[in-house]
Amino acid sequence: MKTVADYNFKGKKVIVRVDFNVPLNHNRQVTDDTRIRESLPTINKIINDGGSVILISHLGRPKGGFEMDYSLTPIVPVLTKYLNKPIVFTRDLYGPRTVDECGKLQPGDVVLLENFRFYPEEEDADEEFAKKIASLGDAYVNDAFATSHRAHMSTFTLAKFFPNDKYFGLLLAHEVNNLNKILHNAQHSFTAIIGGAKVSTKLAVIKNLLGKIDNLIIGGGMRFTFAKALNGKIGNSLYEEKNIKDATEIINGTIQHGINLYIPEDSVVADAFSDESQTKICSTFDIPDGWEGMDIGPKSIRKCAEIINSSQTVLWNGPLGVFEMSNFRKGTKSVAIACANANMKGAFTVIGGGDSIAAINMFDLADQFSFVSTGGGAMLEYIEGRTLPGVQALLD
């Protein structure tokens, strides 16, 4: 893996694919600049070497033409503040202004190009378009882990035009190294906690983990598909009939691999999907009709903490309950605290996924994890064992 740390970019114009896909408020101001801050080490490394930087990114999902709502304009003041210098923003992508600005770049200069997804060629991974963009710079860096599972022009095709001058950005390298540690070099006992609502998006992840983990905790709404597969009575709880077969396969897989499978045994159930509903505690496998499982119960919280406490490696994706509602937050919060304690005792704890990260931010525990993965879909695909096009393009 060649990273930007391995090369001196003095006098080079470097095209850097960053992930500035940040949330904006209705005034089009950046409400969370984490992704911009995370790109700074790579940008500063190139600048400090005496190189110049051409930044490219997407924002949101425009329909293939210019839309003001998806312009990268709001990034400019934030980036200017963090870099402590003016940057140039060009609107025309591969138009005369961009060619001119990139042509006259001096060491230390930074240019930001407009949202590539305004051009259908981006998602079509268009070679001709990539060739034009490639002609703007001398080297290519990908630092956008969260989009590296997409084979787009800026994450995939562009790399082909720099066979000897393509590099992992520091953020991308950090993500890949930490996830490789989990997949190929984990200390045991290794616990995976998989929760959330959409069981279908997690099945491949769990299947790929079967040969690697010692404990598997299934949380969130998806555990009711597993409870149903075990002939449980799940009342009105979330459940995906079409995934019963896969859930059964996973249950059998845990038996074959000698994995301790824990489906939290008790649940906080509610008579409606609302924070104002009536609640009670009952067995996850015997929920009355008219009630639905919203969180894990007190016995499960204790058992999860026990399992996490005896682990050397913990991988967590997906909340344990409907943490957005205050009455159903305790399971997710208790598991977050258990992970923080395990981390303090030396365990390697990794968390990823938009909702899981939102939850630990809510509990102010994000800095108590060994590693927080920024790429929701990309992280899941990596853990599924799939080759990410954006990563592969740098290795080929």
Q: Is 41 helix (H, G, I), strand (E, B) or coil?
A: helix
Among 198, 207, 233, 257, binds ligand AMP (CB under 6 A): 198
Residue closer to ligand AMP (CB basis): 376 or 389: 376
112-127: burial string, b at 16+ Cβ within 10 Å, e else: bbbbbbbbebbbebbe
Cβ of residue 327: shortest distance to ligand AMP, in angstroms? 12
What are the start-end ranges of the E strands in the chain? 13-17, 52-56, 88-90, 110-113, 139-142, 166-168, 190-194, 215-218, 233-234, 260-262, 266-270, 279-283, 286-287, 292-296, 313-317, 348-352, 371-373
Which candidate, 66, 47, 40, 68, places its Cα nearest to that of 122?
66
Closer residue to ligand AMP (CB): 51 or 221: 221
Three-class DSSP category at 232: coil
Nearest to 319 by CA among 302, 300, 294: 294
- Compute the distance between CA of residue 84 and CA of residue 78 in angstroms, rounded to an integer: 10
| Least distance CB 107 / ligand AMP (angstroms) | 44
Give yes or no for residue 319 binding ligand AMP (CB under 6 A): yes
Choices 37-45, 72-80, 184-192, 320-328; region in contact with ligand AMP by CB under 6 A: 320-328
- Cβ closest to ligand AMP, residue 127 vs residue 355: 355
Among candidate residues 198, 207, 233, 299, the one labeled active-site is 198
Q: Which of 35, 150, 212, 223 is catalytic?
A: 35
The rounded distance, in Å, linking the Cα atoms of 148 and 219 is: 28
Size of the site for ligand AMP (CB under 6 A): 16
Q: Is the dihedral of CA 271, 272, 277, 281 positive or negative?
A: positive
Residue 5 — left, alpha, or beta (φ > 0 → left; ψ -120 to 50 → alpha)?
A: alpha
For residue 235, the SS3 value is coil
- Asked if 139 touches ligand AMP (CB under 6 A), the answer is no
Q: If you search the block for the tokens 């937050």, which residue do you land on?
A: 329
Question: Is there a catalytic annotation at residue 330?
Answer: no
**Scanning residues 229 to 248, which ones bind ligand AMP (CB under 6 A)?**
238
- Considering only residues 72, 125, 247, 294, which one is a binding residue for ligand AMP as defined by CB under 6 A? 294
Binding-site member from 213, 301, 322, 379 for ligand AMP (CB under 6 A): 322
Choosing from 196, 264, 375, 389, the residue that interacts with ligand AMP (CB under 6 A) is 196
Taking CB under 6 A as the rule, does residue 318 contact ligand AMP? yes
C-alpha–C-alpha distance, residues 208 and 185, integer Å: 15
Binding flag, residue 282, ligand AMP (CB under 6 A) = no
Q: Which helix (H) or strand (E) holds 145?
A: none
Measured from the CB of residue 263, what is the shortest distance to ligand AMP in angstroms? 12
Stretch that binds ligand AMP, among 40-48, 69-77, 115-123, 193-201 (CB under 6 A): 193-201
Residue choice 51, 74, 137, 321 for contact with ligand AMP (CB under 6 A): 321
Q: Which stretch binds ligand AMP (CB under 6 A): 1-9, 254-262, 313-321, 386-394?
A: 313-321
Q: Which of 221, 235, 352, 390 binds ligand AMP (CB under 6 A)?
A: 221
Backbone angles phi, psi at 152, to 5 degrees: -100, 170
Helix (H), strand (E) at residue 363: none
Sign of the alpha-carbon dihedral angle for 255, 257, 263, 264: positive
**Interaction between residue 287 and ligand AMP (CB under 6 A):** no
Residues 323-362 that bind ligand AMP (CB under 6 A): 324, 353, 355
Tell me, yes or no, if 35 is annotated catalytic.
yes
CB of 13 to ligand AMP, least distance (A): 40
Closest C-alpha among 276, 284, 376, 375 to residue 321: 284
- Counting contacts by CB under 6 A, is residue 293 touching ligand AMP? yes
Contact call for residue 257 and ligand AMP (CB under 6 A): no
* 3 state SS of 202: coil
What residues act catalytically? Answer: 35, 198, 354, 377
| Contacts with ligand AMP, residue ranges (CB under 6 A) | 196-198, 201, 220-221, 238, 293-294, 318-319, 321-322, 324, 353, 355
